[in-house]
Structure 1
């Protein structure tokens, strides 16, 4: 059973929680991680940022942070292993003020806390620190801190596998419990529809207008009647769908006056399933509903609205076999730490979705996150400390 300096591990966690770094604006936390890695003995030459931010199609301050640790001792020539986490938080975490309360970290203001995923950052830096301090034998390791996980898994999607040193297996930290051996996750489409109607004065001649709002309402009613909204179950196929942001031109309101027929709205949503074909079916049902509604809402002149629907696959589902080498190593390490492993499949996307897609089988563990993405978020220090010990166990097993 591997142990770590829990006091130092918690200090690192609190240090990282205090640095703001919402998705797309990770420069400050990236700088702090580099400083912390150097402090625990990682040489500057082993630390670098990739150019993913130049290839990610949304604004991003920096690329992924990659750290190369050479092997040591009897395990020094074993195959390289990847440890990863993401460094960004959701926007709701801006302004968080963490404090320790008993065996928890809580927030003193009404924002999310940022345990998702500053806990993972703390685990990976603690891993580097303990390997150096205890002079433990281990294979070559690559540490990866990704950007923009919270806004679409962009850093993991655009990392170049060649930059990871030829790793064969990976371990990701993002979740609640160190006992969770997450071996699969859903896939998802994200889609957007622009609904164009026709403006008219609602008090004088509403019949000449074409209401984009009505097209939206008709489409969503059709989707709901067809059983495609929320939890979606069609025979033995299961998935989910959701409507997110509804906005007018340039993200603002769809009109400045209440007496104008709404001529434009933009809607965003997503479709998820563990079956890649089924989340495509869900997306297709939304596209058909918007097209039908746009054609069906007309004015007195017989003109109809339009719906421009675009979608893309955000990430692909995966499910690794329980007897896969990466899963077996995970189970063995969790058991060696005196924890009962729980094989799980996630209903949300993970950076592991893209690592598996890149050909690197990756298991995900939790590190104490509770109620993430909410103002009720808190961190379980017992689980966080267990995750740190588990990382060292994973890295030092023969």
Structure 2
């Protein structure tokens, strides 16, 4: 970052058309949990075991997940546990995330995540949870009158498009730029996300982005 002298710019990493200017993006925490139960033979002495999968299931039913509100989302995308059908599983791994455009909500739900893991653990003697919640990037938000937003809007208008100012639920390099004092806003590059989560580039929409950049 020390080699970058610009204080504003465009980031070519956003969904939608070239006239879409992203003026807000969320904070994100990555949530990883290693849940340790107690293994035993499921047919001979199941009462001696504590299923890490059931502990994980209890946690999942209590966590606020999905679209929590219009600014906040959370997801557990990976659940991995157990080694054999006849063994009470003693280890389960959860991998998820929490995002919000609002910092106070972001901090509130981060604390709620921690509390839920702690509360569930307290009801299972002899078990443990290694919980790691790591901030991956900070959010940002500017209004449409922001100097950088207006600079990009002018370029969009000059090629015959109507600027659209929108927030996003995704992160990009812009989050990192903002953290380092550079106001750089993402613009749409003609990307669509299909139901299989495969990014597809729509070439005729990408053409308009190139026109905006080249003037």
Q: TM-score w.r.t. structure 1 length? A: 0.51
Are residue 345 (structure 1) and residue 167 (structure 2) matched?
A: yes
Paired residue for 1:216? 56
Deviation digits for residues 15-46 of structure 1, max 9, x if unmatched?
xxxxxxxxxxxxxxxxxxxxxxxxxxxxxxxx
Paired residue for 2:21? 181
Question: Could you tell me how far 1:280 is from its partner in structure 2?
Answer: 2.5
Question: Could you tell me how far 1:376 is from its partner in structure 2?
Answer: 5.9
1:121-140 equivalent positions in 2, closer than 5 A? none
Q: 1:230 aligns with which of 43, 66, 88?
A: 66
Cα distance, 1:375–1:219 mapped onto 2, change above 3 Å: closer
On the 8 A contact 1:220/1:289 being kept in 2, the answer is no
Task: Say which SS state the counterpart of residue 97 (structure 2) adopts.
Answer: strand
Paired residue for 2:6? 167
Cα distance, 1:293–1:375 mapped onto 2, change above 3 Å: closer
Compare relative contact order (CA 8 Å, sep 6+) and give the higher one, 1 or 2. Answer: 2
How far apart, CA to CA, are the structure 1 residues paired with 2:86 and 2:126? 20
How far apart, CA to CA, are the structure 1 residues paired with 2:75 and 2:22? 24
How far apart, CA to CA, are the structure 2 residues paired with 1:357 and 1:331? 23
Paired residue for 1:319? 141
How far apart, CA to CA, are the structure 2 residues paired with 1:388 and 1:196? 52
Paired residue for 1:267? 94
Cα distance, 1:280–1:375 mapped onto 2, change above 3 Å: closer
Cα distance, 1:213–1:376 mapped onto 2, change above 3 Å: closer
1:70-149 equivalent positions in 2, closer than 5 A? none
How far apart, CA to CA, are the structure 2 residues paired with 1:371 and 1:312? 26
Runs of 5+ consecutive residues of structure 2 not aligned to the other structure: none
On the 8 A contact 1:320/1:361 being kept in 2, the answer is no
Deviation digits for residues 150-193 of structure 1, max 9, x if unmatched?
xxxxxxxxxxx2122x1121111123210101111111111111
Runs of 5+ consecutive residues of structure 1 not aligned to the other structure: 1-160, 249-253, 298-302, 394-398
Paired residue for 2:78? 245
How far apart, CA to CA, are the structure 2 residues paired with 1:351 and 1:377? 17
Question: Could you tell me how far 1:365 is from its partner in structure 2?
Answer: 0.9
How far apart, CA to CA, are the structure 2 residues paired with 1:276 and 1:373? 30
Question: Could you tell me how far 1:222 is from its partner in structure 2?
Answer: 2.1
1:197-216 equivalent positions in 2, closer than 5 A? 197-216=37-56
Question: Could you tell me how far 1:378 is from its partner in structure 2?
Answer: 3.2
Question: Could you tell me how far 1:352 is from its partner in structure 2?
Answer: 0.4
Question: Could you tell me how far 1:375 is from its partner in structure 2?
Answer: 6.4
How far apart, CA to CA, are the structure 1 residues paired with 2:20 and 2:116? 39
Task: Say which SS state the counterpart of residue 3 (structure 2) adopts.
Answer: helix
Deviation digits for residues 233-275 of structure 1, max 9, x if unmatched?
3xxx841110011224xxxxx21x2111110111111111101
Higher mean Cα deviation, 321-330 or 346-355?
A: 321-330
Cα distance, 1:343–1:285 mapped onto 2, change above 3 Å: same
Cα distance, 1:295–1:280 mapped onto 2, change above 3 Å: same
Structure 1 segments of 4+ aligned residues over 6 angstroms from their partners: none
Question: Could you tell me how far 1:372 is from its partner in structure 2?
Answer: 5.7
Cα distance, 1:332–1:238 mapped onto 2, change above 3 Å: closer
How far apart, CA to CA, are the structure 1 residues paired with 2:198 and 2:143? 35
Task: Say which SS state the counterpart of residue 162 (structure 1) adopts.
Answer: coil
Q: Relative to total residues, which structure has the larger strand share, 1 or 2?
A: 2
How far apart, CA to CA, are the structure 1 residues paired with 2:79 and 2:54? 13
Q: Relative to total residues, which structure has the larger helix share, 1 or 2?
A: 1
How many residues are treated as equivalent by the alignment?
Answer: 214
